[in-house]
Amino acid sequence: MLLALAALTGCAPSHDAPMPYVATIAPVRMIVAEIAPEGVAEIVPPGASPHAFELRPSHARQVEGAQILFFAAKNLDGWATQLPARHRVEMMTLIPGSEELLEDDHAHHGHDGHGVNPHFWSDPVLVSTMIPRVLDAMLRSDTTRRQELEARAAQFVELLQALDQELKELLAPVSGRAVIVMHPSWDYFCRRYEIRVAGALEPAPGHEPSPRELEELAAAARKHDVRAVLTEPQLPRAPAVVLAEMLGVGLHEIDPLGGVAGRDRYAELLRYNAAVLRKALQ
């Protein structure tokens, strides 16, 4: 795959000036762009899932000439390792320590997992711990803008601290209430703000629940007094619709990736989803 992409890259060179940085998915791009707002491209388009994403020759051309390709985790967008990038940075490896990381259910459903939930970006406190290392990665390839990048990184950490406090206050009235999620993409967020996750309809993408599994989820939901079933725009809604009807509870859509108007910056994405959760659980 790598050789084919590289060969095809050479056959059709891009005439557009390459961005200094390329990110695989919108949340990674949002984080990097807070430090370097003028130069971050994105590979996966809005509405698409990184789990089932298929590389094309144009993606190899997209990373050609970029200083760094940032990707989330090997068990989420690990296809990034096939791209002919000059430097690659796996964001999960920038989180200091492992005590804050959650188990990855993908590994238990035949998915390419390495034991850790890769959706770290839903927790602003967790993101704040990695910013110094994101900055270090940038400074290794660009020393000409050290003061500018350091200043932006410091401002972003301050924003994350303020955002954490804002979300705590917003979600305090629904603390301790339970939901059924479509996919474990907001587990870090729910843990941080004390929302209980009673189960997931698709622990791994493409693993839609069987009738028996739906009944088991419904039983767990009733046991935990689930107030809402959550869907995601990147995944099929049908199982969530069925479960919500079985339970007689509301169906609400949260967005783990964003990248669209109103959810195209990091704080916007988290505020949007926090507002949806508060409404769903009231």
Count: domains in the chain:
2
* DSSP state letters, 24-53: SSHHHHHHHHTTSTTSEEESSPTT--GGG-
Answer yes or no: do 35 and 107 share one domain: yes
Answer yes or no: do 132 and 204 share one domain: no
pLDDT over 80 at 108, yes or no: no
Q: Which residue has the tokens 């669209």?
A: 260
- Phi, psi angles (nearest 5°) of residue 35: -95, -35
Answer yes or no: do 100 and 206 share one domain: no
Q: Which of 165, 192, 226 is the last residue of a domain?
A: 165
Q: Is 217 exposed, middle or buried (0-12, 13-18, 19+ CB in 10 A)?
A: buried
Q: Of 97, 101, 107, nearest to 76 (Cα)?
A: 107
What is the pLDDT, as a whole number, of residue 6? Answer: 43
What is the pTM (predicted TM-score) of this model? Answer: 0.90
CA 19 – CA 66 distance, rounded (Å): 6
CA 47 – CA 26 distance, rounded (Å): 10
pLDDT bucket at 161, cuts 50 / 70 / 90: very high
Helix (H) or strand (E) holding 69: strand 68-71
Answer yes or no: do 140 and 176 share one domain: no
Task: Identify whether the C-beta of residue 61 lies closer than 8 Å to the C-beta of residue 9.
Answer: yes
pLDDT over 60 at 17, yes or no: no
